[in-house]
Structure 1
Amino acid sequence: MTAGTSAGQRTTAPSTDAYRLDLDGLRGVAIALVVIFHVFVGRVSGGVDVFLLLSGYFFLGSQLRYASRPDASLNPWWPLWRVIRRLVPALAVVLTATVLAVLLVTRQLITPELARQVTASIGYVLNWELIGQDAAYAAASVDASPLQHLWSMSVQGQFYVFAIGFGLVLTWLARTRDLSADDLRRIAGPALIAVTVVSFLWAARHGLVGTPGSYYSSFSRAWELTLGGVLALYQHKLRLPRWSAPLGVALIALTGVVVSETFVFPGPVALLPVSGAVLVILSGRRNAASRALTSPFSLWLGNIAYSLYLWHWPLLIVLTALTGREKPPVVLGIAVIAASLLLADLTFRHVESPLRQHRRRPTVTDHPVDEARASLDEIPGRARALGGIGISALVAGLLTVQPGYAALADNAADESLDPDHYPGAMAQFGADSPHAPARPEPAVAAGIFPAPGRDSCLVFLDEPTNLYPAELGGDEDCIYGDTTAERTVVIAGGSHAEPWTEPLDVLGREHGFRVVPFLRQECPIVLGAHYGVSPECETWAEGAVEHIIELDPDVVVSTSTRPLELAGLGPDIVPLGYEEFWAELDRNEITFLGLRDNPWTLNGDLEPADANYCLLDLGPDSVDECATRREFVYADADPAEGVLSGYEFATAVDTSDWFCGPVLCPPVIGNITVYRDQNHISNAFATSTAPLLWERLEPLLTGHTTRPENSVASRR
């Protein structure tokens, strides 16, 4: 160990010139660039990368300076409490305002994903939640989440916890090993440099353009933050000429202009704005650029930067949705910026600043609890306490959003719909449909999943390719209908086959057959050459067919068509790989019932569009306006009919009239909301088709394959 001073003689780490007010101004400029590019350009600017670097510079620098103090405390609560008081109040206010705005004026933004994002935001894990949701960072539009920008706050919060832990380790080493500030620098510096290099290499592993997962990942972003800590440690040895600062500001400003691809960040291209910030830091504060950054306006921007970042995006998305525009127009963008600046200033003055921890971080000789109690005898102290109680109440309320949405969805899923008022698909065949509000409500339909998904009987994308929850029908937890019946119906395929479990479950309990699911997310059953499913799906499908043949069911039910275009644009076709599955069943004398796939919803521009959002946006009387034209999704005749008619044990069911009239495929039929999302049907509507499905299934189960005359399904 190198020689050092005694504990009583240790000195703190050498200071930089003074507190860098110009870097506060730079932080404001960086966030201003973020706002401008979000609002007017529709892409990222590199400003967040600068913001993260400065966060690392200030926060890690403060932790390292504190660690070298001879009276530093090892209590982790105080730095964590300081961070909570700095970050949570403004976040809670903005999140609460956003949730209320969505509930009151833009219900089309309500989704189960958004409900989970609220919880993840207040828990500072939104970046990981977005990765789990496979959410790409979208430009401002009615389809973007009003909370997606908070991923960076989550990365920052996670880093603060790491930095506090790192600082406490250094504090412990200084106390137990009698280390000086220089000793701590020799330990901390190489460690931070190593993390920076490893994280940067990880961020760059995909080359110049990365992935959404890399964009949000704390591991990919860590280098920007730890590089700030490295600069805080070594800036006194790395001085650059004064002209470097204006060059650095120019690099930051130009990033959003010359870089158009979002997912180049935080890889090598992120060096452009980050290098600009490094140049500003290392050129000191005595230059023209730094003087401009300490102007009153720049410092004001720096003060409100955090709140400005919080406010601008939800305002932009909510107002865009409220005006019914697909993209925000310029006038709306100007209004958003003005409102964001005003709200940010008010939030800084009345939330951030009053509730922030202004006193220095406590040392072992301080008594912060006693001082806090004493402050309650004065009006400012009482006001802060009341403010803290208010923020705590907001946080508690926010934590109820996700379970509250789940409860609404569960209640809607359990709601028994009277067929006299909610005939659903039967309204297409003459059943009376009196005026009644659509059920389930379009706002909660997306949160109601078919039974196999709820019961872990649907195999998800990341699960093994040899997983079959209903192994040969032996696991009663994944058997539906009459679980004790001898007759067996298999429902097989991907998520588009899954909703048909609902009417089959009802029919099985009524008519005495069990329903065995062989379902995997995004995995229709294909054999041989196919249209391009994943290798995992291909392997799983081969195993599923083996299991089905061994089970020897009375009937196998699945979807028989798919849209020509991946986004749902028709006409519908029989994809390559489907027929070989049917042929294999036929060779084994297993009866197959092929259901023509439901239409996928499109807007007037033939782009994918969730009809429920349209209903929420335009109102319940806008069914026709939110409908998809039949000609855009369906061929004139069921394309599976000609194929399946060539097999002895196969039957095709043209379901198109279940979903569509002669011209339109509406999102509400017989007072039942048809869709769960853009391309999956709701449980309630699927269940309403039970009489239609039974007409086609009954002859197959009883051995009579002739279609009944004058059946309901043939009356059109």
Structure 2
Amino acid sequence: MAAAPLSPARGSTAYRVDLDGLRGYAIALVVIFHVFVGRVSGGVDVFLLLSGYFFLGSQLRYALRPNPSLNPWWPLWRTIRRLVPALALVVVTVVLLVLGFAPELMSTELSRQVTASMLYYQNWELIAQNADYAAASQDTSPLQHLWSMSVQGQFYLVAILMGTAVAFAVSKLNADPKRTKRVAIGVLAAITVCSFAWASRFGLVGTGENYYSTFSRAWELSLGALLAFVPAEWQLPQSTAWLTALTGVGLITATGFIIPTSLAFPGPLALFPLIGAALVVLSGNSNAVSTVLSSGPMTWLGSIAYPLYLWHWPLLILVTVIGGFKTPPAWLGGAVIALSMALAHVTHTFVEDPLRQHRPRPKATDTPVADARASLRTLPGGLRAAGGALAAALFVVALAVQPYWDHRVDSAEKPLDPATYPGAMALRGAAVPAVEPAPNPNLIAGVFPPIGEEGCMVFLPEDADAMPGPDCVYGDVNAQTTVVLVGGSHIEPFVIPLDQLGKEHHFKVASFVRQECPLVVGGPDDPANEIVSPVCAEWGENALAEIQALNPAMIVSTSTRPAGHAGEGIASADYVPEAYARLWERLAELNVPFVGLRDNPWMFNPDGAPMDPNLCIVAGYTERDCSMPADVVYAPEDPAAFFLDGSAAQWEIDTEPWYCIDGICPPQIGNVYIYRDQNHISNAYAATLAPLLWEQLGPIFGELSLLDEPPAAPAPAADA
């Protein structure tokens, strides 16, 4: 996305200044659609094609020249100098603005995105975070847009290695340059075909992972590189070049209006803007459209395209969050565009352009290191060195963000003093001192239950036969009595109080927890299991077989949920899915006792939108503002109590009083924040639930004859 050096030449074989103008036009579409339309425009796809055209094309042309340098460091260093200083400046500035004006945006996920952005793997980090590309809103990452810079950076590295290999073959192995060029073109064609096929495997609409994937995006860059090697005689007729170029610009312009979803990219529909870009490229630069694209305003826009892309998105997100808008209004969008362009111009003038390497790539006989040392004795050279040192410092600061944030999160994991932070015990009359609640609501989302942290949780991508290891046991690991904790992530925090209770009352806790996967039976063909994925449904049967082999004294899981698919939830009274009832019937047939825990609240705004009460507090709202009426998510009576009434060794525990007081579900009770996020309870609050949980479990243990008094201490030895 960074603009290549401009040249005043204009002939049909000269540097394509008009393509810099096309780059500027594409970035304008990206910004306008982000700000005013709220979806992608296809401009990023054009960026990637032009990056392939300029960068890989230049790498291969250099490699085929006489006496090329075989040191890959020089093109890499040139690329670093061109891209990293502006990136480091923007990323560090964004982090400072977030911490100062929108702290609710700061999170473990964002800190990891900072590192990923600086090291050019942001696209894969977003895939790992299951972050589908989203329109600007209060819930969108201010660094989301840097996925494309990572794809570009990864491609640049491959292009440098490919160019070095070609140079080695020609200069050291005496390979024929023309034949080597044909081989390189063949490799690019193979990459283009294979990558396009991979990107199109879902049809016209793909997935978030497909959108970000380097393998899915590679064809856009390699196609651009192929265009750089199209012979002049294959270009479109000059007599109609203005029309074909205009058609190309029209296709690029129309893309954002006719393709409504970002998930269409980079699949077959991405051909729409890329064919448009290819038409502009193949029409040459001696036509009326090329003249417009080569004009001063367009090439200026192209020159600031890279910093404009960097600045516009985080500014849009920040003003949206600070202003409390669901989506930015038009007047605010206009202000963001104006400010972004001003910052982009300043960044290009004082950071990007001065620090980039302007001299040609050295040949094998050149002495660039000695020349660079000599330049330090000049004022311009000294200023460049100082600017480079500052850019390096910003780079280091950016890489320090994640360790800094992880350290703060680790501090939030420390146990709380129950005298000061009684949590749920305040519901039993414990004194609540007048102190700030804990843990820090800005950090709590990064503190996960031990099951997931210790590798004992089965995550979404894993197969249906993936099970927790034999060491995934809590409580009294030497006890004979086994309690199995099973279900999705909402049961996961209960390992904390059960671990404590197991050690006190001598039972062990085996965990069978899978992300977004309550235990169901009947397999994926059972219509009752439509609330879970097919893999989850298959996993349920496999897990139940493993659980039976443990001969458990009881199974503990959640018993209700809001409407919606597993992993999702809408503002609705809780209910018992048919799949849950089917499980309980099977367990009754197997004579396996079951204890159900009514699900905790999923927090929502008055308009039904999901609300993270911690971020609500961090944003400066009152606890009342960040609370929710209990009847939004709770039915008047516990719906699971009808099924789990104590018969067939199946019991229900109504947990609603643990989270809601007098019909209101607050963000904290007893100075302890209840939630880790919008719908999971925090470790800290779960720990305070142990006495309340035992109030309900103790009688059930007694009814099942599971109470095991600790062995008496051995008598002291008699005196000799």
Q: Same fold (TM over 0.5)?
A: yes
In structure 1, what is the equivalent of residue 254 of structure 2? Answer: 254
- Determine the C-alpha separation between the residues in 2 that align with 1:188 and 1:233: 10
- Determine the C-alpha separation between the residues in 2 that align with 1:182 and 1:542: 61
Q: Is the contact between residue 68 and residue 180 of structure 1 (CA under 8 Å) also seen in structure 2?
A: no
- Determine the C-alpha separation between the residues in 2 that align with 1:703 and 1:565: 35
In structure 1, what is the equivalent of residue 300 of structure 2? Answer: 300
- Determine the C-alpha separation between the residues in 2 that align with 1:235 and 1:314: 41
Deviation sequence 1:499-519 (CA, Å, 0-9, x none): 000111122223332222121
- Determine the C-alpha separation between the residues in 1 that align with 2:598 and 2:627: 19
- Determine the C-alpha separation between the residues in 2 that align with 1:267 and 1:235: 28
Alignment of 1:428-443 (within 5 A): 428-443=427-442
589, 613, 618: which is aligned to 1:611? 613
1:33 matched to 2:29? yes
- Determine the C-alpha separation between the residues in 1 that align with 2:651 and 2:84: 60
In structure 2, what is the equivalent of residue 547 of structure 1? Answer: 546
* 1:592 partner amino acid: F
SS in 2 for 1:253: helix
SS in 1 for 2:443: helix
- Determine the C-alpha separation between the residues in 2 that align with 1:565 and 1:538: 16
Offset at 1:235? 4.3
In structure 2, what is the equivalent of residue 491 of structure 1? Answer: 485
SS in 2 for 1:531: helix
In structure 1, what is the equivalent of residue 688 of structure 2? Answer: 688
In structure 1, what is the equivalent of residue 77 of structure 2? Answer: 81
Deviation sequence 1:32-83 (CA, Å, 0-9, x none): 1100100000011111111111111111121121012111011111111111
- Determine the C-alpha separation between the residues in 2 that align with 1:556 and 1:170: 63
Deviation sequence 1:623-651 (CA, Å, 0-9, x none): 11111221110000111111111623122
Offset at 1:97? 0.8
Q: 1:459 to 1:22 in 2, by over 3 A?
A: same
SS in 1 for 2:351: helix
491, 508, 514: which is aligned to 1:514? 508
* 1:557 partner amino acid: V
Alignment of 1:690-709 (within 5 A): 690-703=690-703
SS in 2 for 1:237: helix
Segment of structure 1 superposing worse, 691-700 or 137-146 = 691-700
1:152 matched to 2:148? yes
- Determine the C-alpha separation between the residues in 2 that align with 1:21 and 1:52: 17
Offset at 1:490? 2.0
- Determine the C-alpha separation between the residues in 1 that align with 2:570 and 2:485: 23
42, 45, 48: which is aligned to 1:49? 45
- Determine the C-alpha separation between the residues in 2 that align with 1:273 and 1:581: 51
- Determine the C-alpha separation between the residues in 1 that align with 2:203 and 2:382: 54
In structure 1, what is the equivalent of residue 518 of structure 2? Answer: 524
Q: Is the contact between residue 591 and residue 700 of structure 1 (CA under 8 Å) also seen in structure 2?
A: no
Offset at 1:697? 1.4
- Determine the C-alpha separation between the residues in 1 that align with 2:46 and 2:694: 62
* 1:306 partner amino acid: Y
Q: 1:465 to 1:488 in 2, by over 3 A?
A: same
Deviation sequence 1:689-709 (CA, Å, 0-9, x none): 111001111222233799xxx
Q: Is the contact between residue 12 and residue 285 of structure 2 (CA under 8 Å) also seen in structure 1?
A: no
In structure 2, what is the equivalent of residue 283 of structure 1? Answer: 283
SS in 2 for 1:516: strand
In structure 2, what is the equivalent of residue 266 of structure 1? Answer: 266
In structure 2, what is the equivalent of residue 11 of structure 1? Answer: none
In structure 2, what is the equivalent of residue 417 of structure 1? Answer: 416
- Determine the C-alpha separation between the residues in 2 that align with 1:346 and 1:531: 57
Q: 1:667 to 1:705 in 2, by over 3 A?
A: farther
Deviation sequence 1:592-632 (CA, Å, 0-9, x none): 2211000101111112222222222234xx11111122111
Q: Is the contact between residue 470 and residue 518 of structure 1 (CA under 8 Å) also seen in structure 2?
A: no
Q: Is the contact between residue 200 and residue 220 of structure 1 (CA under 8 Å) also seen in structure 2?
A: yes
SS in 2 for 1:326: coil
* 2:670 partner amino acid: G
Offset at 1:550? 2.9
- Determine the C-alpha separation between the residues in 1 that align with 2:39 and 2:231: 32
- Determine the C-alpha separation between the residues in 2 that align with 1:253 and 1:548: 58
Offset at 1:486? 3.0
Segment of structure 1 superposing worse, 185-194 or 271-280 = 185-194
- Determine the C-alpha separation between the residues in 1 that align with 2:544 and 2:50: 56
Deviation sequence 1:391-422 (CA, Å, 0-9, x none): 22222222222222222222211x22122221
Segment of structure 1 superposing worse, 146-155 or 242-251 = 242-251
- Determine the C-alpha separation between the residues in 1 that align with 2:584 and 2:403: 43
Structure 1 unaligned spans of 5+:
1-14, 707-716
Segment of structure 1 superposing worse, 125-134 or 495-504 = 125-134
* 2:142 partner amino acid: P
Offset at 1:255? 1.5
SS in 1 for 2:578: coil
* 2:477 partner amino acid: T
SS in 2 for 1:234: coil
Q: Is the contact between residue 87 and residue 118 of structure 2 (CA under 8 Å) also seen in structure 1?
A: yes
Segment of structure 1 superposing worse, 334-343 or 550-559 = 550-559
Offset at 1:16? 5.4
Percent of aligned positions with the same letter in both sequences? Answer: 54
1:190 matched to 2:186? yes
Offset at 1:548? 2.7
In structure 2, what is the equivalent of residue 557 of structure 1? Answer: 556
Q: 1:16 to 1:387 in 2, by over 3 A?
A: same
In structure 1, what is the equivalent of residue 571 of structure 2? Answer: 569
What TM-score comes out, normalization by structure 1 length? Answer: 0.92
Structure 2 unaligned spans of 5+:
1-10, 707-720
Q: Is the contact between residue 549 and residue 585 of structure 1 (CA under 8 Å) also seen in structure 2?
A: no
Alignment of 1:442-481 (within 5 A): 442-471=441-470, 475=471, 478-481=472-475
Segment of structure 1 superposing worse, 589-598 or 81-90 = 589-598
* 1:549 partner amino acid: Q
Alignment of 1:101-250 (within 5 A): 101-179=97-175, 181-240=177-236, 241-243=240-242, 244-250=244-250
SS in 1 for 2:651: strand
Q: Is the contact between residue 529 and residue 537 of structure 2 (CA under 8 Å) also seen in structure 1?
A: no
Offset at 1:144? 0.9
- Determine the C-alpha separation between the residues in 1 that align with 2:521 and 2:214: 40
571, 582, 585: which is aligned to 2:584? 582
Deviation sequence 1:136-186 (CA, Å, 0-9, x none): 110010111111111110111011111111111211121134355533332
Q: Is the contact between residue 630 and residue 665 of structure 1 (CA under 8 Å) also seen in structure 2?
A: yes
SS in 2 for 1:360: coil
Q: Is the contact between residue 426 and residue 689 of structure 1 (CA under 8 Å) also seen in structure 2?
A: yes
In structure 2, what is the equivalent of residue 366 of structure 1? Answer: 366
Deviation sequence 1:354-384 (CA, Å, 0-9, x none): 1101111111011111111111111221222
583, 597, 600: which is aligned to 1:598? 600
In structure 2, what is the equivalent of residue 673 of structure 1? Answer: 673
1:500 matched to 2:494? yes
SS in 1 for 2:157: helix
Q: Is the contact between residue 583 and residue 647 of structure 1 (CA under 8 Å) also seen in structure 2?
A: no
Segment of structure 1 superposing worse, 308-317 or 526-535 = 526-535
Deviation sequence 1:271-301 (CA, Å, 0-9, x none): 2211221121121212211111122211111
Q: Is the contact between residue 491 and residue 515 of structure 1 (CA under 8 Å) also seen in structure 2?
A: yes
Q: 1:705 to 1:615 in 2, by over 3 A?
A: farther
* 2:481 partner amino acid: R
* 2:601 partner amino acid: P
Offset at 1:465? 2.7
- Determine the C-alpha separation between the residues in 1 that align with 2:570 and 2:494: 19
Segment of structure 1 superposing worse, 341-350 or 607-616 = 607-616
- Determine the C-alpha separation between the residues in 1 that align with 2:623 and 2:688: 19
Segment of structure 1 superposing worse, 202-211 or 440-449 = 202-211
- Determine the C-alpha separation between the residues in 1 that align with 2:377 and 2:294: 38
454, 476, 485: which is aligned to 1:482? 476
